[in-house]
Amino acid sequence: MDVLGIDACGKLGWTGIRLTDGVYADSLVDVRLDSLIDRSAGVSAIAVDMPLGLVERGWRAADLAARALLGARRSSVFLVAPRPVWRELDYGAAADRCEQLTGNRLSRQTWALAPKLAEARACWLADDRIHEVHPELSFRALAGGVPPSHPKKTWRGQNQRRSLLARAGIVLPDALGEADRVPPDDVLDAAAAAWSAHRIALGIAGRVPETPERGAEDRAVEIRY
């Protein structure tokens, strides 16, 4: 059984880690998400580290629940603005709209996600194999419910996360091929997403919240792990 975990990686576009029966198979990098997915034909589940389901008003229950679970790593979870905010054409209008719908203005850091969020949502709406994940929730589950103790961009944090993956049978080789040019934290996040994709395919993945909201497209607004 093949699955795919995907993380956004800046100007490079997207990076994917594919597992076969829970073991590292290969890596992919593509500037377009739909192209990367097309190159992975036959995978049973696809896990993407990007907000997918959106609500119409207020903050997503999934993000609030994820923050509660992650403790010191809670800041890694962005509060995702309602769907009407992402339909605005510029940051000023989006920030105003977010304040109307949530009581808080949208940060510029979150607004910077807009192009990739739109790209990922288009793929999600067209392919029911795709699920939203958050790597820090995956790493928390890999560690038996304990959030990572060090940030993912630090030396200790990256070694901690690579060791957790290896203990789960996902041994990332020193030479990854296409993903050799991808920052290490993005590779680790894609691998954690792949671990969650494998759990989704097996029907054993967790979710937050336990009872998902329903988005505008009548699909579950949830984060899997």
pLDDT digits (tens, 9 = 90+) for 75-111: 999 999 999 999 999 999 999 999 999 999 999 999 9
Amino acid 98: pLDDT: 98
Looking at the chain, the whole-number percentage of residues with pLDDT higher than 90 is 97
| Statement: residue 152 has pLDDT above 90 | yes
pLDDT digits (tens, 9 = 90+) for 179-192: 999 999 999 999 99
Which pTM was predicted? Answer: 0.95
DSSP notation for the chain? -EEEEEEE-GGG-EEEEEEETTEEEEEEEESSHHHHHHTTTT-SEEEEES-----SSS--HHHHHHHHHHGGGGGGSPPPPPHHHHTSSSHHHHHHHHHHHHSSPPPHHHHTTHHHHHHHHHHHHH-TTEEEB-HHHHHHHHTTS---SS-TTSHHHHHHHHHHHHHTT----S--GGGGGS-HHHHHHHHHHHHHHHHHHHT---EEEEEEEE-TTS-EEEEE-
Cβ(72)–Cβ(147) under 8 Å?
yes
Specify which residues 224 forms β-bridges with. 133, 207
Mean pLDDT of the chain: 96
Rounded Cα distance, 36 and 34, in Å: 5
Amino acid 41: pLDDT: 87
| Statement: residue 13 has pLDDT above 90 | yes
What number of CA atoms fall less than 13 Å from residue 58's CA on the CB side? 8
Rounded Cα distance, 8 and 16, in Å: 9
pLDDT digits (tens, 9 = 90+) for 35-46: 999 999 899 999
Which domains are assigned to the chain? 2-51+127-207 (3.30.420), 61-125 (no CATH)
Amino acid 224: pLDDT: 98
Listed in sequence order, the residues at least 6 apart from 39 whose beta carbon sits closer than 8 Å to its beta carbon are: 28, 30
Cβ(147)–Cβ(140) under 8 Å?
yes
| Statement: residue 160 has pLDDT above 90 | yes
